[in-house]
Structure 1
Amino acid sequence: MKLLSFILLFVSCSCFALSSEEFDKQYQNLNGELNKAVINNMIYSKDYDDKKIPLSEKIESKSKWCDLTKTRINLLDFVIQNFSSYKEWVKKNNLDDDSSLDDFNKFYENQQKSYIGCMAGLEELKID
């Protein structure tokens, strides 16, 4: 009975696994979105303490920072959900990454907290 349960669990889990090509396509798409978010953040980055900068520009800057954090979370979530495919992709592309799933989970949690703080800071700016 335990063997049958294990086989059913294995088959059901493997049905949802991404092919190498599917993983690569989705990973590259999310990575591209992250690159766009990084560039937008750099373009719109403002000094929040500078009194000469209009509030609307500070809000836009903070919004881009929140977008960057959210995009990073999306990529991390994808890697965590497909960690074995990620490790295969790393190996296939001859990349050096000894990160563990635990490392990704910790970074994900950190980014979640950062995003919550970012959104709260954005709301504060909008209220001022």
Structure 2
Amino acid sequence: MKFLSFILGLTFASNCFALSSEEFEKKYQQLTNDLTKAIINNAADSRNYDDQKVPESEKIKSKSSWCKLTKTRVNQLDFVVNNFSDYKALMKKNNIEDESKLEDIKKFHDKQQESYLRMKDLLKDTDYPCD
């Protein structure tokens, strides 16, 4: 009986925190907009790391921009992983054929997370940390 109560309580609690499709779409659009801004900022800050004429400070700023872009991508991937069925429903609603699988997105997320943490660590004692 306690187990049944626990399962019912858990089911009720998880449904209370679920996003409506409109809330999901709004948050996904916000994260997509954030990603677009990060891509634009990264393009503006990108420097050729091998070019000896580019000052080291500009190279570090460029790396920081890449780090922030990666962090923004991780945020969006976190949201998609945690709301995968809502993501798939949104793609279907928008007539986007998306054959991605949750496992594939999780793998990509993990690689992006590792990259972000490495870059963040490299930039922590610079004038351009990545938070």
TM-score under structure 2 normalisation?
A: 0.86
Residue 5 (structure 1) shift: 3.7
1:1-128 alignment runs, 5 A limit:
1=1, 3-123=4-124
Residue 53 (structure 1) shift: 0.4
Structure 2 distance, partners of 1:119, 1:7, is 42
Show structure 1 runs of 4+ deviating over 3 A. Answer: 1-6, 120-126
Name the SS for the 1:98 alignment partner. coil
Paired residue type of 2:20: S
Identity of aligned residues (%): 53
RMSD (Å) for aligned C-alpha atoms: 1.8
Deviation string, structure 1 residues 24-68 (Cα, Å, up to 9, x no partner): 110000000000111111111111111100112111111100000
Q: Which moved more, 1:81-90 or 1:64-73?
A: 81-90
TM-score under structure 1 normalisation?
A: 0.88
Which runs of no fewer than 5 residues in structure 1 stay unpaired? none
Structure 2 distance, partners of 1:33, 1:12, is 30
Tell me, yes or no, if the aligned pair for 1:55 and 1:125 is still in contact at 8 Å: no
Residue 4 (structure 1) shift: 4.2
Paired residue type of 1:62: K
